[in-house]
């Protein structure tokens, strides 16, 4: 495609390109576009020259020559050498773009960054190019579903299709079998002809009235009765510009004589790459004059008086670079650009009208590549296609790597990619270990005032599925943060010297992440109780029926907690004490309290506690917490406080 782009921009000097010229050096060869000759001259001249400034210039034009004959790798090397020898930083920029075209994105990024540091007023431009390289890397690594086929009609020469009618593709090519005998000296290839390719039979047919000049590309209405095509060159003239011609099919089936479409008053300009809409009422084309940049896209409407005055699509589409190969389907404009952020070379974009402007979207990989990608010809999607999640069926053209030649025609069928796999849920344990503070220091029966971090605790994290355990220590804040595996049952054992051990269990099954990073934080707070040996601790909320010793249902939850505490601390022994108030006789109260203490022991034993760890002690009324001068003077509240069940660690 680069060869074709060069051709349309320099058609007005075509005559001098084919007239015999005496070439004695690289500069002359370059001036007359004989790039293969220029390469040979420059290589010899560089070897013979010792002046670095002169060689910097020669390396730059050697790189330009390599670029024109599509030897991008050598072009990149020569651009870099030119810059190293003192040539303008533009050589550095072009070396970066060449590396980008070679898919050497990381190397290109390094040179773009260097260019931005060297040319401060173009730092933003360099940043945009770096962003494009990062995008390209990301797009190529995306999960995609597509079938991409290099068509059988492609050869080592250029083939690029710009029209399709029924089962035929109409393509432009510079293969050796084309009309005429003249060749471009700058690439030693024939001028372009238009051929048709039958997609079902894989047959190439030469039915177009080609000339010895450049013919193509072309466009056709949906009914196949109107063709507009490009022709560059006319007999008997030296100012050979590219022009558009139109032919229509007569009722007899014959075609009319080609009609020159003079869309501008100015005649010495290049107009090419036409695309006519399906019903023939609008024409898009490319012109290298009257625009914003190198080549711009224009449009013209067909009226009762013929084609209207062309309108530049404006800065919503056109840039200071080159916008080319427009196509239009289903209210969407497709075009190629070397300036909108892309993967390298020409990328294909789609533009949809939005509030009198266009929304521009890069079609990304695999439509686009590091090379030139252009002239997208989509197929309308059927209901079945949409049911099959197909989002695009099209032909397009590319000179990407691993093709058959220069420009090749490709067929693509692209589906909606599968949803990316959900990132694995990450579990994280946040554990805080605290100790109780009592209203009266070292008196657990005085009530809890607060809790503070316990920094001396040890934590065992047990993976019950694999029977693995890990030992941690808390930090200075009494906290532990650690990652967990999914689909596990865990047990945590928290202990500290002179504190009761505690355990807790949890799992990492079927949890739902609440955050975007798919992380689930399991937060737990463990409050350890200090062990006070031989110090009585009241078991709250244990009540007995009048003159009864049996354990009531409402007392069982409290005793179950004691069972858990004993199971978590298997080495401790405790005394279970029972106290009465002063009412009734002393002997009766002693017997009643012993029976109640024994009932607690028996409940604990029934729940799995070794009886050897338990001692039952009835205190009767001998150890009141509320002292009254006379039993009859005690209030009911005082009697209630004296009636209590306790335990203490022995």
Interaxial angle between packed helices 2-9 and 52-68, expressed in degrees from 0 to 180 and rounded to the nearest 10:
100
The residues near 44 (Cβ < 8 Å, ≥ 6 apart) are none
The CATH code that applies to domain 426-528 is 2.60.40.10
Average pLDDT estimate for 293-316:
93
The residues spanned by each domain of the chain are 34-141, 151-384+395-408, 426-528, 537-649
DSSP-derived letter for residue 419 is: P
Residues 569-606: pLDDT tens digits? 998 999 999 998 888 899 999 999 999 999 999 999 99
Q: Which pLDDT value is given to residue 74?
A: 95
Mean pLDDT of the chain: 88
Is pLDDT of 189 > 70? yes
Start-to-end Cα distance in the chain: 94
Q: How does residue 81 score in pLDDT terms, banded at 50, 70 and 90?
A: very high
How far is Cα 645 from Cα 539, in angstroms, rounded to an integer?
6
Q: How does residue 142 score in pLDDT terms, banded at 50, 70 and 90?
A: confident
The distance of Cα 593 from the centroid of its chain, to the nearest Å, equals 74
Tell me the H-state helices in 225-268: none
Is pLDDT of 295 > 60? yes
CATH of 34-141, one of 3.20.20.70, 3.30.1330.10, 1.25.40.10, 1.10.760.10: 1.25.40.10
Higher-pLDDT residue of 5, 389: 389
Winning range, highest mean pLDDT, from 174-188, 535-549, 600-614, 621-635: 600-614
Among 137, 103, 158, 109, residue whose Cα is nearest residue 370: 103
Q: Which pLDDT value is given to residue 6?
A: 46
Q: Which pLDDT value is given to residue 13?
A: 38
Residues 36-57: pLDDT tens digits? 899 999 999 999 999 999 999 9
Tokens standing for 142? 């995306």
Winning range, highest mean pLDDT, from 40-44, 472-476, 622-626: 40-44
CATH class of the region 151-384+395-408: mainly beta
Average pLDDT estimate for 159-169:
93
Is-contact 85 55, C-beta < 8 A?
Answer: yes
Tokens standing for 612? 């050897």
How far is Cα 454 from Cα 435, in angstroms, rounded to an integer?
6
Winning range, highest mean pLDDT, from 206-215, 351-360, 452-461: 452-461
The residues near 581 (Cβ < 8 Å, ≥ 6 apart) are 589, 621, 624, 631, 634, 638, 639, 640, 642, 643
Is pLDDT of 237 > 60? no
Residues 327-379: pLDDT tens digits? 999 999 999 999 999 999 999 999 998 777 788 999 999 999 999 999 999 99
Tokens standing for 324? 């080319």
Of 16-25, 364-373, 640-649, the range with the lowest mean pLDDT is 16-25
Average pLDDT estimate for 178-201:
80
How far is Cα 627 from Cα 635, in angstroms, rounded to an integer?
11
Q: How does residue 536 score in pLDDT terms, banded at 50, 70 and 90?
A: confident
Is-contact 413 396, C-beta < 8 A?
Answer: no
Which segments within 67-223 are labelled E, that is strand? 145-150, 159-165, 168-173, 193-198, 203-205, 214-220
Is pLDDT of 286 > 60? yes
Q: CATH 1.10.1060.10: does it fit domain 537-649? A: no
Q: Which helix (H) or strand (E) holds 618?
A: strand 614-620
């Amino acid at each position: 495609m680069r060869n074709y782009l060069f051709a349309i921009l320099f058609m007005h000097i075509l005559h001098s390109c084919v007239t015999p010229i005496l070439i004695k050096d690289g500069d002359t060869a370059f001036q007359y576009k004989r790039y293969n000759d220029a390469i040979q001259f420059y290589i010899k001249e560089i070897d013979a020259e010792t002046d670095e400034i002169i060689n910097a210039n020669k390396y730059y034009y050697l790189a330009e020559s390599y670029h024109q004959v599509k030897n991008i790798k050598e072009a990149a090397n020569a651009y870099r050498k030119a810059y190293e020898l003192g040539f303008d930083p533009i050589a550095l920029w072009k070396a970066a773009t060449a590396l980008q075209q070679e898919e050497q994105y990381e190397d290109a990024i390094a040179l773009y960054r260097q260019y931005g540091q060297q040319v401060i007023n173009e730092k933003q431009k360099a940043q945009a190019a770096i962003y494009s390289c990062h995008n390209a890397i990301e797009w190529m690594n995306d999960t995609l579903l597509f079938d991409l086929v290099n068509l059988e009609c492609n050869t080592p020469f250029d083939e690029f299709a710009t029209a399709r009618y029924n089962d035929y593709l109409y393509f432009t090519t510079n293969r050796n079998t084309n009309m005429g005998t003249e060749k471009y000296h700058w690439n030693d290839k024939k001028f372009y002809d238009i051929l048709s390719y039958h997609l079902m039979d894989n047959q190439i047919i030469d039915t177009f009235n080609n000339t010895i000049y450049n013919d193509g590309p072309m466009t056709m209405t949906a009914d196949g009765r109107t063709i507009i095509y490009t022709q560059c060159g006319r007999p008997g003239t030296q100012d050979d510009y590219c022009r558009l011609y139109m032919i229509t099919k007569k009722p007899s089936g014959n075609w009319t004589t080609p009609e020159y479409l003079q869309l501008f008053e100015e005649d010495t300009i290049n107009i090419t790459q036409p695309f006519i809409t399906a019903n023939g009422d609008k024409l898009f084309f490319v012109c290298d004059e009257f625009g914003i940049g190198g080549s711009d896209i224009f449009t013209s409407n067909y009226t009762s008086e013929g084609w209207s005055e062309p309108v530049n699509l404006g800065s919503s589409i056109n840039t200071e670079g080159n916008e080319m190969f427009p196509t239009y389907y289903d209210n969407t404009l497709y075009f190629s650009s070397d300036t909108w952020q892309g993967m390298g070379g020409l990328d294909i974009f789609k533009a949809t009208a939005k509030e009198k402007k266009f929304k521009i979207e890069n079609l990304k990989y695999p439509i686009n590549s590091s090379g030139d990608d252009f002239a997208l010809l989509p197929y309308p999607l059927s209901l079945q296609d949409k049911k099959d999640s197909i989002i695009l069926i099209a032909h397009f053209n590319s000179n990407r790597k691993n093709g058959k030649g220069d420009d090749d025609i490709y067929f693509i069928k692209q589906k909606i990619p599968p949803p990316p796999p959900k990132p694995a849920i990450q579990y994280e344990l946040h554990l805080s270990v605290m100790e109780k503070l009592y209203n009266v220091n070292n008196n657990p029966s005085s009530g809890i005032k607060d809790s503070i971090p316990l920094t001396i605790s040890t934590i065992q994290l047990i993976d019950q599925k694999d029977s693995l355990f890990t030992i941690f220590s808390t930090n200075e804040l009494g906290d532990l943060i650690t990652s967990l595996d999914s689909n596990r049952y865990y047990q945590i054992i928290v202990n500290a010297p002179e504190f009761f051990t505690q355990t807790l269990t949890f799992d990492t099954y079927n949890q739902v992440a609440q955050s975007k990073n798919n992380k689930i934080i399991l937060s737990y707070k463990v409050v350890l109780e200090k062990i006070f040996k031989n110090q009585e601790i009241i078991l709250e909320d244990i009540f007995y029926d009048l003159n009864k010793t049996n354990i009531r249902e409402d007392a069982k939850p409290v005793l179950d907690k004691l069972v858990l505490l004993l199971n978590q601390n298997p080495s401790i022994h405790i005394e279970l004490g029972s106290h009465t108030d002063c009412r009734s006789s002393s002997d009766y109260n002693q017997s009643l309290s012993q029976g109640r203490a024994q009932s607690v022991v028996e409940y604990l034993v029934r729940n799995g506690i070794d009886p050897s760890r338990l001692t039952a002690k009835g205190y009767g009324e001998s150890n009141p917490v509320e002292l009254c001068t006379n039993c009859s003077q005690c209030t009911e509240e005082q009697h209630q406080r004296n009636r209590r069940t306790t335990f203490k660690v022995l």
